[in-house]
């Protein structure tokens, strides 16, 4: 039991884990947020994609807590009556939501799912519990617990990795953008559990959550080394334990990234580059683009020193890498200053900065950061009226948004905003051209 508690407690000290949401580890981490929720409203949105709407507005199940379950004698769809505790609040006049342990089974085949969260958020998850919400292509992936065929031929094998314990190793060639792994959580725990619930009570909740899982799953989770940050309901951070994905090791130059779906409670692990047979599959435990010293400081939260090829390179090589990364940050800042009018940039200057940026990104293996850099280039071109050039970078940005974030509407808001800005600029340009021709 201690293994699970140390896993989830340890990760709470590392805010950078929240980067794993959606196109994980691309951006710097955002601060943990909590929300005041109205139990009378349903916070689970309908699902849209770039192609079409897949579902109408979902039903809104009523929140179930221990008291309501006792009063009604029912706690469906949960397997057991929830067990709840009150949070500890510094101000005695302020009350917070209860935290309850929920169990659902079967989940994603013959598995179980335990959730430690608030009654309202548990209700928003109900629509995601049915296996049918998982897209067919993910259900049929060889690594998915829902796959009927091909489960004996995944792209990876779980093996001992020198100095890192068990990890995932490629057992066939994997091409860039291939889905390496489809995995589903076994446990989810609300991030605020680690702030407003006492240590002893928290331990009891996590132990209860573990015991509610099938015995085989309990053993799998106790052998894991870490948890990962995901979001539930309306983007409330939770820590998640994944039977296979949580075994992926760290590297400052990763070869895969995570794509998490709130709607389907599914994580896809996707190749960022070609991966050869025998390569260890890895993802960063710190944000991409940090300097060596910043990475080393962040990794203290994980309790280890990185031994990847970048961190063990010579002093001069690390200094050169840091210099390139600092220059990338400066270019991004300069482009943003130009986009907002705080700096005067010409089209030629923007072209030069974009070209240098792409060269530095390739050299450092930070292609995932192009997602944000392309947006900055597009806005800088819009500012100087070069809309054809802006459109090129909007389209490049859109392609990366879909690849890294997927097609769920919630994750495409930034992309739609960029396209909207371009359209508004184009409308104004058309009006101006028409008025000048009169």
Please, which pLDDT band fits residue 410 given cuts at 50, 70 and 90? Answer: low
pTM score of the predicted model: 0.81
Kindly report which listed range (236-250, 316-330, 354-368) carries the lowest average pLDDT score: 236-250
Length of the chain: 438
Q: Which two tokens stand for residue 65?
A: 């807590």
Strands 236-241 and 165-170: unpaired
Strands 99-107 and 111-117: antiparallel
Beta bridge partners of 158: 168
Q: Which two tokens stand for residue 96?
A: 């917070």
DSSP designation for 280? B
Q: How many CA atoms within 13 Å lie on the side-chain side of 52?
A: 2
Model pLDDT for residues 84-126, shown as the tens digit of each residue: 998 875 555 556 789 999 999 999 998 999 999 999 999 989 9
Render the burial of 313-323: b for 16+ CB within 10 Å, e for the rest: eeeeebeebbe
Pick from 428, 350, 424, 337: nearest CA to 393: 350
**175 against 415, higher pLDDT:** 175
Please, which pLDDT band fits residue 40 given cuts at 50, 70 and 90? Answer: very low
Model pLDDT for residues 256-270, shown as the tens digit of each residue: 999 988 889 999 999
Give yes or no for a contact between 107 and 114, defined as CB atoms under 8 angstroms apart.
no
Q: Is 309 exposed, middle or buried (0-12, 13-18, 19+ CB in 10 A)?
A: exposed
Residue 356 scores a pLDDT above 90:
yes
List helix spans (H) across 365-412. Answer: 370-383, 387-405
**363 against 149, higher pLDDT:** 363
Name the region of 304 (left: φ>0; alpha: ψ -120 to 50; beta: rest).
beta
ω into residue 181 within 30 of 0, thus cis?
A: no
Which pLDDT score is estimated for 14?
34
Pick from 216, 209, 227, 163: nearest CA to 6: 227
How high is the mean pLDDT of the chain?
A: 82
């Amino acid at each position: 039991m201690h293994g699970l508690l140390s896993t989830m407690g340890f990760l709470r000290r590392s805010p950078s884990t929240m980067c794993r949401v959606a196109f994980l580890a691309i951006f710097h981490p955002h601060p943990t947020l909590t929300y005041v929720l109205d139990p009378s409203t349903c916070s689970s949105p309908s699902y849209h994609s770039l192609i079409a709407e897949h579902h109408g507005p979902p039903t809104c199940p009523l929140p179930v807590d221990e008291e309501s379950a006792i009063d009604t004698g029912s706690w469906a769809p949960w397997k057991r009556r929830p067990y709840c505790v009150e949070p500890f609040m510094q101000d005695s006049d302020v009350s917070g939501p209860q935290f309850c342990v929920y169990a659902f089974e079967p989940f994603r085949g013959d598995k179980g799912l335990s959730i430690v969260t608030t009654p309202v958020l548990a209700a928003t998850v109900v629509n995601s519990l049915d296996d049918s919400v998982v897209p067919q292509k993910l259900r049929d992936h060889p690594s998915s617990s829902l796959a009927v065929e091909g489960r004996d031929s995944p792209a990876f094998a779980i093996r001992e990795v020198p100095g890192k314990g068990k990890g995932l190793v490629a057992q066939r060639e994997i091409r860039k953008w291939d889905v390496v792994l489809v995995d589903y959580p076994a446990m989810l725990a609300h991030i605020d559990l680690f702030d407003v619930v006492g240590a002893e009570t928290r331990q009891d909740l996590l132990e209860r959550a573990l015991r509610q899982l099938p015995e085989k799953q309990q053993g799998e989770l106790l052998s894991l080394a870490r948890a990962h940050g995901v979001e539930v309901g309306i983007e409330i951070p939770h820590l998640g334990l994944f039977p296979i994905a949580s075994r992926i090791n760290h590297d400052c130059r990763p070869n895969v990234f995570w794509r998490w779906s709130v709607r389907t409670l599914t994580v896809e692990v996707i190749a960022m580059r070609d991966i050869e047979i025998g390569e260890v599959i890895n993802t960063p435990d710190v944000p991409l683009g940090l300097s060596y010293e910043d990475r080393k400081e962040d990794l203290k939260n994980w309790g280890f020193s990185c031994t990847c090829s970048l961190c063990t390179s010579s002093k001069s090589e690390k200094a050169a890498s840091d210099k390139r990364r600092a220059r990338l940050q400066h270019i991004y800042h300069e482009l943003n200053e130009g986009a907002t009018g705080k700096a005067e940039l010409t089209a030629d200057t923007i072209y030069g900065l974009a070209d240098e940026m792409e060269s530095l990104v390739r050299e450092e293996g930070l292609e995932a950061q192009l997602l944000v850099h392309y947006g900055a280039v597009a806005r800088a071109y819009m500012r100087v009226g070069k809309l054809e050039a802006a459109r090129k970078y909007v389209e490049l940005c859109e392609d990366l948004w879909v690849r890294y974030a997927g097609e769920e509407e919630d994750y495409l808001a930034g992309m739609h905003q960029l396209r909207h800005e371009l359209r508004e600029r184009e409308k104004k340009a058309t009006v101006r051209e028409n008025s000048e021709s009169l």
